[in-house]
Amino acid sequence: MSLRKQLFLAICLFLLVAFSGSFFVSLESSREQMLGQLRSHAQDAATALGLSLTTQIDDTAMIELMVSSIFDSGYFSSIRIVNIADEQVLVERDAPARIEGVPDWFVRLVNLHPQGGDALIMRGWEQVARVEVLSNPQFALAKLWDSTLGSLVWLLLCGLLSAMFGGWLLRRQLRPLDKMVKQAEAISKREFLSLPKLPRTPELKRVVLAMNQMVEKLKALFAEEAARSEKLRADSYQDSLTGLANRRLLDEQLADHLLMLRINDLAGLNQRLGGQRTDALIGTVGELLMRLTQLPERRTWLAARNRGGEFSLLTPGLDDNDAARLCAEISATLENLRLTGDSDSMPVAHLGSVAYQPGEPASDVLLRLDQALTQAQQHPERPWVHLDHANTAPNQSQHDWRTWIDDALTHGKLQLYFQPVVQCADTSQVLHHKVLARLLDPNGEAIAAGHFLPWIERLGWSARFDLAMLDATLDYLAVNRWPLALSLSGTTLRDPQSLRLILQTLDSLPELAPLLVLEIDERQLPPPDELQRLSQSLLGTGYRIGLQHFGGSFSQIGNLTQLGLAYLKIDGSYIRGIDEQRDKRLFIEAIFRATNSIDLPLIAERVETPGELEAIKSLGLFGVMGRLIGPPEPM
C-alpha cells in the first residue's frame, strides 16, 4: 500500500476516533445538562400552573382551559390535575411522544427520558389537588442531533483539508524518493544519473547523498575499465603516429575495394629534409585519409598505416568508376602537400587500387596491390592505377542491378535466413536468431547480402530495404513466436521519414516487442545527442535495441550506457585468433570487465574455430555466434 493511501486511511481512522470520543463525551455532558433542564422546566410549569389554578379550583371549565393552553405549547408530554382526597384525575392532557427529524438509533443511543415536576393546588390552607407535569424531550433531542451533525461536518471538513494538505506535503517530501527510484531504475538499465538537487529533509538528504556517491563510484569504475580497454585497443590496432588503424586491423577487415598509398623515397626524404618534417608529412597524409572516412556515408571505410610511408584505405561499397575517381582525387590532393625544399620531380606518392571479393585470400589481394603500385610507378604522368581484376558482385551492369533489385523489393522477393546466437556457457541454449536476407534475382537464385548490399547503398535504397526486412520479419514473428534480432542501417535511422515509418510499424504491433531486438551497427552510429533521441524513440515502442560490430570506437562506451541496450556484439575481427593472440584476449577481457560492471551482456560475433570458442568461454562472455555455432539457414 502506498504512503498516500496509508496517510489517507490514518486520517480517516483519526477522524473516526476523534469524532467518536468527542461525540460520547459531549453526549454524556449534554444529556445530564438537558435532563436537568427538562426537570427544571417541568417543575416550573407545574408550579406556575398550580398557583394559577388556586383561585379557579372550583371551576372545572377554567381548569381545563388553562391546562389546554399550556399543553398546546408542545413542550410537555403530559399534564394532569389529580384530586388529593381520592387520587381521582380531574383533568388530563397527554400525547404520544413524536420525535421528528431525528433517527431512531440516535434516540435510543441518547436515551433522554421525559422529566416530571409537580405542585399543589391550595384552597386557603387546605391541599385540594396536585399538578403533575411531564416535559417533552423532542426539542432537546433535535438540538442535540443538530449539534452532532455540525460537529461531524466540521470534523469531515478538517479531515478533507488535512488529507489535501497532508497529500501535498507528502508528495513534496517524497519527491526525492521518486527521483531515487528513477535513479535506481536507471542503474538497472546501465545508466548513471546523479541528483543535483538535494532534499531539505535531513534523513532523505543523507540517502540521496549516498545514492549519488554510489552512482559516481560506478561511473568512475566504468570509466576506468573503458579507458583501459580503449588503451589496449589502441595499442593493438592503432598507429601511434597518425592515429589511423594499423596493418593488423586492416588485414582482419578486408572487404570490397582496397586502395594502397606509398610515399615515394621515404628514406631519401628523411636524409634531405630530416625526420621531423618527414613525420609531419606522414601525419598530414594520415589526416587526409582520416577526413575521407569521417563522412556519414563512409563510416564503414577504414584507413590504416601499414608501415613507414605506406597507407591503406578500405572502401566497402565502391564500384570501379568510384574507386578510380577516388584515386585521382587523393593523388591531386597529395601533390599539394609537397614539402618546401623538396625539389624532387617525382610524385609525392603512388597509389594502387584493387577490388576484393569476399572470401578471397588476403595474400592474393595484397599481391594485386603490389602489382598496381608497380604499374603506377612506371607511369609518372598518372601516379595511380586501379585494377578491376575482381568484382564484388556478379558480372552485371548498374542498370541490371537497379532493375532486378527494384523488382525484388517491390514484389517482396526476399528470403529470410536465420543464424543462431547461443549462450556461451551452454551452446545448446539459443538466445535468439539473427535475421539475414537473400534477394531473389530474375533467375530465382538467392543472392547473398555481400553482393547486393553495396548496390542498395549506392542506389540510396537502404531505408526501402530495411522497411521490407522489418515487414517480413514481423510477418514471420506473427506466426513463429521465437526471439529474433534484425539490423537497421544508420542511413535509415538518420532519415526522419524512414524512422517515422519504422516507429509506426513497431507501434502497431506491441505484442511482438518481447520477441525482436533491433540492432545498430557501431560504425554507423549518429552523434551522441541524436543517438540518445533515437534510442528513446525506439525504446518507446517497447522493442529493445542492441549494438553490433562493437569494438572500433570503445571510447564512446560512456555514451552507450545511457541507451538501455539489450546487449553488445563484439566485432568478429577482434575474435579471430583470440586463442592464439594474447593482446586480443586482454582487450576482450577489458571490455568484459567494463560491460559486466553495468550488467550489459556481451556476445562474440564470427566465431569460427573451437579454440576461439574455448577462449571466449574462459573469459565469461554471455553469448556467441558464428559459423562454428551454426551458419545462416532458411527456416
Q: What pLDDT sits at residue 182?
A: 75
CA distance 540 to 284: 45
Which of 8-22, 325-339, 507-521, 584-598 has the highest average model confidence (pLDDT)? 507-521
Look up the CATH number of the domain holding residue 519: 3.20.20.450
Claim to verify: residue 382 and residue 426 sit in the same structural domain: no
Is there a domain that residue 600 lies in? yes
CATH at 119:
3.30.110.200
Mean pLDDT of the 32-44 span: 78
Q: Is residue 591 part of a domain?
A: yes
**Within this chain, do residues 365 and 406 fall inside the same structural domain, yes or no?**
no
Whether 236 is covered by a domain: the verdict is: no
Percent residues over pLDDT 70 in the chain: 86
Sequence-separated (6 or more) residues with CB below 8 Å from residue 579? 585, 609, 611, 612, 614, 615
pLDDT (0 to 100) of residue 395: 46
Give the model's confidence band at 394: pLDDT under 50 very low, under 70 low, under 90 confident, else very high: very low
102-124 confidence digits (pLDDT tens) = 787 877 777 777 778 888 877 77
Residue 303 lies in a domain: yes
Residues 494 and 555 in one domain: yes
Both 300 and 339 in one domain: the answer is yes
Pair type for strands 414-423 and 430-440 = antiparallel
248: in domain? no
Q: Give the pLDDT confidence of 467-501 residue by residue, as tens digits.
A: 999 999 999 999 999 999 999 988 888 888 999 99
How many residues make up the chain in this entry? Answer: 635
Q: Return the residue matching grid coordinates 582525387.
A: 329
| Residue range 512-571, pLDDT digits in tens | 999 999 999 887 887 777 888 888 899 899 999 999 988 776 556 656 667 778 999 998
Q: Tell me the three state secondary structure of residue 487.
A: strand
Local confidence band at 346 (pLDDT 50, 70, 90 cut-offs):
low
Helix (H) or strand (E) run with residue 504 in it = helix 496-507
pLDDT band at 359; cut points 50, 70, 90 = low
Clarify whether residues 350 and 447 are in a common domain.
no
Kindly state the average pLDDT of the residues 14-26: 75
319 and 452, same domain (yes or no): no
The pLDDT score that the predictor gives to residue 629 is 93
Counting Cβ atoms within 10 Å, is residue 382 exposed (0-12), middle (13-18) or buried (19+)? Answer: middle
17 domain-assigned: yes
Q: Which of 387, 409, 427 is the last residue of a domain?
A: 387
pLDDT tens-digit series, residues 405-426:
888 888 888 899 999 999 998 8
Full strand arrangement of the beta sheet holding 257-263: 245-246, 302-307, 310-315, 257-263, 349-354, 384-387
- Do the beta carbons of residue 131 and residue 49 sit within 8 Å? yes
Does residue 393 have a pLDDT over 50?
no
336 plus 464 within the same structural domain: no
Residues 329 and 438 placed together within one structural domain of the fold = no
Nearest partner of 521 among 462, 609, 477, 458, judged by Cα = 462
Average pLDDT along the chain: 79
Does one domain contain both 453 and 310? no
Same domain, 403 and 383: no
Amino acid at 102: V
Is 634 within the bounds of a domain? Answer: no
- For the chain, state the CA radius of gyration: 48
Q: 3-state secondary structure string, 211-259?
A: HHHHHHHHHHHHHHHHHHHHHHHHHHHECCCCCCEEHHHHHHCCCCEEE
Question: Which region among 44-58, 518-532, 593-607 has the lowest average model confidence (pLDDT)?
Answer: 44-58
What's the CA gap between 465 and 439, in Å, rounded? 10
CA distance readout (Å), 241 to 73, 97, 339: 117, 112, 18
Number of domains in the chain: 3
Indicate if 513 and 548 belong to the same structural domain. yes
65 lies in a domain? Answer: yes
Range of the domain at 375: 257-387
CATH number at residue 345: 3.30.70.270
Of 144, 160, 176, the position where a domain reaches its end is 160
What pLDDT, on the 0 to 100 scale, is given for residue 616? 92
What confidence score (pLDDT) does residue 392 get? Answer: 40
Choose the final residue of a domain: 387, 409, 431.
387
pTM given for the model: 0.60
Highest-confidence segment of 448-452, 536-540, 557-561, 580-584? 536-540
Percent of the chain residues past pLDDT 90, beyond the cut? 16
pLDDT band per the 50, 70, 90 thresholds, residue 345: low
Res. 245: pLDDT tops 70 = yes
With a cut of 60, say whether residue 232 has pLDDT above it.
yes
The whole-number pLDDT of residue 254 equals 62
Average pLDDT over residues 198-203: 73
Examine the domain organization and report whether 458 and 597 are in the same domain. yes
Strand partners, 39: none
pLDDT digits (tens, 9 = 90+) for 267-313: 777 777 777 888 888 888 888 888 888 776 676 788 888 888 888 88
